[in-house]
Amino acid sequence: MKKGRGSREPLGYRPAVGIMLLNPWGEVFVARRIDMPGAEAWQMPQGGIDAGEAPREAAFRELKEEIGTAEAHIIGESRGWLQYDLPAELAGSVWGGRYQGQRQKWFVMRFTGRDSDISLATEHPEFDAWQWVQPSRLPDLIVPFKRQLYMDILAEFREHWLPAA
């Protein structure tokens, strides 16, 4: 079947990882994106999986690239892959317009370093501020198009961040 001049193949999802990094007190690491000026766009570390790279490897690489340290160990992994769609105004420009969103494997990790190990002054900075927050605050901090994803992550990793009853 021939395609018309203006038709396009549907965009796929970028393979990626996300990390819920917890400190010893059960607070989660979030950082504010520098590419969304005027917006309070906070998020947990995340990023693409390179060709031939396993998701666990990508998670530690992304930590190092985004926050300057990979001092952590994995305490949980999402059962499946989670995804989100970019809003239409971003879909054509983010990642060269090749993807409609991300399909992510999420990991919950325990931070084993010190706050002083964290540095946003990386080779390709993505953030200009960071903080530890209560996990329940995540849906209020994240950009709206990722809110449901974050709520799903909170539900799946609940046993790791909620205090024992």
5 domain-assigned? no
How confident is the model over 105-132, as pLDDT tens digits? Answer: 999 999 999 999 999 999 999 999 999 9
Let me know if residue 7 belongs to a domain: no
Q: Over the stretch 13-29, which tens digit does the pLDDT of each residue have? A: 999 999 999 999 999 99
Query: What is the distance, to the nearest Å, from the Cα of residue 69 to the centroid of all Cα atoms in its chain?
Result: 16
User: Length of the chain, please?
Assistant: 165
Range of the domain at 109: 12-158
Which residue, 16, 15, 18, 53, is CA-closest to 157? 18
> Residue 113: inside a domain, yes or no?
yes
- Name the pLDDT band for 51 (thresholds 50, 70, 90): very high
Largest CA distance in the chain: 61
Q: Are 82 and 153 in contact (CB under 8 A)?
A: yes
Cα atoms in the Cβ-side hemisphere of radius 13 Å centred on 71: 15
Residue 2 is assigned to a structural domain of this protein? no
Confidence (pTM): 0.89
% of the chain at pLDDT higher than 90: 72
Q: The domain spanning residue 136 has which CATH number?
A: 3.90.79.10
The predicted pLDDT at position 88 comes to 80
**How many structural domains compose the chain?**
1
Position 52 in a domain: yes
